[in-house]
Amino acid sequence: MMKERNSKQKLVALAIGAAVLLNIPILETVNKPQLVLGFPLLYFYVFIIWFILIILLYRIAKNKMG
């Protein structure tokens, strides 16, 4: 029971963090005409945040199941 509650809290925290990091004011700060590894900074930022979110969701789900 405690493990499930902990997982739910982590998922809520992750959702709030994702909402903050992918919100317009934050996205506007990285929306600059600059390239990172050949990609515009905004696209690179969104991809990295998305990738990190997937990894964290996987780890939370894995811990919940096993």
Instruction: Write out pLDDT tens, residues 9-43.
Output: 999 999 999 999 999 999 999 999 999 999 999 99
Residues 6+ apart with CB under 8 A from 60: 7, 10, 11, 14
State the Cα–Cα distance between residues 41 and 48, nearest whole angstrom.
10
Nearest to 18 by CA among 65, 64, 63, 60: 60
Tell me the pTM.
Answer: 0.84
At residue 66, does pLDDT exceed 80? no
